[in-house]
Amino acid sequence: VQLTDAVEPWEDAKLRLLNGAHSAIAYLGALSGHEHVHEAVAVPAFRAYVEALWDEAQTTLDPPPGLDIPAYREALMARFSNAALMHRTRQIAMDGSQKLPQRLLAGAAERLAAGQDIDAMALGVAAWMKWQSGVTEGGETVVVDDPLASKTAELLAGAADDQARVSALLSLSAVFPPALAADDRFAVAVTGAYLSLSQNGAVEAARLAAE
């Protein structure tokens, strides 16, 4: 039990800071035509967005002794910016339905329970939803590599507009816990972020979410 108690805070920090930001920037970057993570975080709006996402996520953490959150964030940004790593946005975007709950949704639920906003987290979720369309902002058709790809495609095909698309995807109980999907604050935040992606594009949507 002591081992579990010691490991869990470290795992939460990794999932919500490293993995959560990696996924969110991968979707935003892939949608806007950036092949690699280091290219995406070189865009000032995306870099500011990652910092805003970390600001939200770190309020949900109980840092274990020995974890310096500011230093960890600095190290993560250096990693994301490292061109030698060649982290491909589309590769990181794979299997998002399996990753979203631990990386973004758990933290979003905790912030909502505490009465806090989730602007940055909501944009990460909306970017995943947008990626399910299989089309980039530049109009390129892409393969959505995800166990639920056929289901998300079916749901999106039956939706008439952006609001309906978000509602349809929120019905995926394999991804969204019913209590979270039914929370109006969550639905409103994600719908607003999705509309921002449609109307403004990923870069401007990220800038607005980081404000």
CATH number of the domain to which 182 belongs: 1.10.1040.10
> What gap in Å lies between CA 180 and CA 109, rounded to an integer?
6
Task: Give me 134's structure tokens.
Answer: 């299989």
CA atoms within 13 A on the CB side of 105: 22
pLDDT at residue 172, rounded to an integer: 96
pLDDT at residue 8, rounded to an integer: 83
Task: Give me 53's structure tokens.
Answer: 């996402």
pLDDT at residue 3, rounded to an integer: 42
> What gap in Å lies between CA 45 and CA 25, rounded to an integer?
11
Q: Where are the beta strands (DSSP E) in the chain?
A: none
Pair 209, 197: CB distance under 8 Å: no
Phi, psi of 188 (to 5 degrees): -65, -45
The pLDDT tens digits of the residues spanning 6-54 come to: 578 888 899 999 999 999 999 999 999 999 999 999 999 999 999 999 9
User: Count of domains in the chain?
Assistant: 1
Which range of residues forms the domain containing residue 136? Answer: 2-210
pLDDT at residue 170, rounded to an integer: 98
What does pTM read for this prediction?
Answer: 0.94
SS3 88: strand
